[in-house]
Amino acid sequence: MKRKIATIALCGLSCCVLMAQKQLDITVKNTMKTERTAQPIVINLAPYGTDICQAIVKMNGQEIASQLDDLNGDGCYDELCFMADMPKKSTTTYNVELLNSGKPRKYKPLVYADMILLNKKVKSNNEQNLFISSLTVENGTNPYWQMHHHGPAFENELVAYRIYFDHRQTVDLYGKYRKGLELKETQFYTNKQQKEAGYGDDVLWVGNTFGLGTMRGWDGQQPTLLEDVDHRTERIISYGPLRTIVEVVDDGWKDKTGNNAFHPYPITMTTRYTLYAGRRDCQVDVFFRQAVANHQFSTGIINIKNSTEYSDHEGLRGCWGSDWTVSAKDSVGHKRETVGLGICLPMKHVVSEQPANKDNYPYVIGGIDKAMRYYITFGSDNETFGYHSAKDWFDYLLLWKKDLMNPVVVTEKLRQTKSE
C-alpha cells in the first residue's frame, strides 16, 4: 500500500512539474519624444530553463501575438519575441507566462519564408512544390540553378528579400505596390495576371555587386566572393508569425587571393537575417567560430545606375536610383525599377568608407572579435505606402538610424514561479 501511495504521489508531482509556470513582468520604456512602432522585444530564455513549451504574452490583460524560436536546432527554445507600439515618452508593462507543457500558441502570420528546390515537372514559375528548410553543399557545388528563386526568400507585409545560394550570397529584393504577403502566391516570379492584379516583383539587378548589404571578403583593393568554402549551408530557422530568420553558414572559408594580410586563415562565418513584421529593414548578425580581429571584410550597397548617394560618414549610407532588373534581351514585359537602398553599420567596425565605383558604394570592415550586427533597408517607388523621391528616402534613412541608435529600454522581472 505504501508503495502504491508513493507511486501516486510521484505521478502527482510529475503532473505538477509538467504544468509549472514562470511569470515575468517585461517593462518596455520609450525614452524618445516620438512615437515608436513595430519595436521588436526579444527575451533571452536561457535564465528560465530549457523546458519551455509555450508562452503567453499579455498587455493590459489582453493576449498579444508572440513567437518562440529555437535558434540552434537543439530542440529548446532560445528566445521569445513580441512586438511593441509605444507612444512618445511612455512605459508599458507586459505580463509573460512561460509554460513547460502544450505547444506554441498560433497567431495570424505577419511574415512568410520559403526555400524551394526546382521541380522540372512543374512548368509554372509560381507553383513549385519541393519545399525544404535547409540545404548543405560541398566545396565546388553550386545549387543556384537547382533552387527556385535561387535561394531562401522571406517577407513581411512591406518588403521581401531573397539570398542567392552560390559564392555571391547576394541579398536581392522584391518590391510591392500594396501591403500584404505575396510570396506564397508569386514565389518571387510574378506572372502577367498577378501583375495586372497589383502584385509586386523583383526590383533590383545585382550581378556580382553587394546587392543590399551582402558580407564579402577584402583583398586590400576590392571585395572578394566566398568561392573556396568547404561546406555552404542555407536554412530557414523561423517561419513566423512575427519574424523570419534565415541563416547562411560558410564553413572553412578560404580567401583565394592568397593575400594573408587581410584573410590569414580559414574561418567559419554564419550570417543571420532577421525580418520583423511591420519593419522594412532587416537585421543582419554575423558570427565567426574563430576570432577574426586580424581579418578585413567588405560590405555596402549596389551603385544603381545614375543613382544619388547619401552618407553621414558615420556608418549610414544610402542611394536612390533606377535601373532594369533584367538584361536588355529579357526586358520585354519589364520596366525600369526605382528603389532606395540603405545600410547602417557600427562605426567601431568601419575601417574605411570607400568612394563609389561603377558597382558599389563600399565599406571595408574590420576589428571584429566574433560577432557583428548591422542593418539593411530598402523601399520601392512602386509602393502606395512608401517613398517616392531621393529626398524623402534620405530623410527616412536619418530617422531610421535614430530609431536604431535609440532602442526601447527593456527590463525583466521574474514575478513568480508556480505549479498547477
The predicted model scores a pTM of 0.93
**Closest among 308, 146, 278, 284 to 216, alpha carbons compared:** 284
**Closest among 214, 217, 246 to 229, alpha carbons compared:** 217
Task: Give the C-alpha separation, 411 to 93, whole Å.
Answer: 9
Burial label, 44 (beta-carbon count in 10 A; 0-12, 13-18, 19+): exposed
Task: Give the C-alpha separation, 381 to 388, whole Å.
Answer: 5
pLDDT digit of tens for each residue in the chain (420 aa)? 444 434 333 333 333 344 558 999 999 999 999 999 999 999 999 999 999 999 999 999 999 999 999 999 999 999 999 999 999 999 999 999 999 999 999 999 999 999 999 999 999 999 999 999 999 999 999 999 999 999 999 999 999 999 999 999 999 999 999 999 999 999 999 999 999 999 999 999 999 999 999 999 999 999 999 999 999 999 999 999 999 999 999 999 997 666 666 777 889 999 999 999 999 999 999 999 998 988 999 999 999 998 999 999 999 999 999 999 875 555 556 789 999 999 999 999 999 999 999 999 999 999 999 999 999 999 999 999 999 999 999 999 999 999 999 999 999 999 866 655
3-state SS record for 385-408: CCCCCHHHHHHHHHHHHHHHHCCC
Computed from CA positions of residues 371, 172, 226, 353, in that sequence, does the dihedral angle turn out positive or negative?
Answer: negative
User: What local confidence, expressed as pLDDT, does residue 3 receive?
Assistant: 42
Q: Contact, 290 vs 267, CB < 8 A? A: yes
Computed from CA positions of residues 387, 199, 154, 109, in that sequence, does the dihedral angle turn out positive or negative?
Answer: positive
**Closest among 317, 345, 396, 398 to 309, alpha carbons compared:** 317
**Closest among 262, 244, 281 to 115, alpha carbons compared:** 244
User: What local confidence, expressed as pLDDT, does residue 255 receive?
Assistant: 75
- Could you tell me which residues come within 8 angstroms of residue 369 by beta carbon, excluding any fewer than 6 positions away? 291, 292, 293
Q: Contact, 293 vs 371, CB < 8 A? A: no
User: What local confidence, expressed as pLDDT, does residue 16 receive?
Assistant: 34
Check if CATH label 2.70.98 holds for domain 111-388.
yes
**Closest among 72, 43, 73 to 57, alpha carbons compared:** 43
User: What local confidence, expressed as pLDDT, does residue 123 receive?
Assistant: 92
- The CATH label, of 2.40.10.220, 3.20.20.70, 2.60.40.350, 2.60.40.1180, for the domain at 20-106+409-418 is 2.60.40.1180
- Kindly list the domain boundaries of the chain, sorted by start residue: 20-106+409-418, 111-388
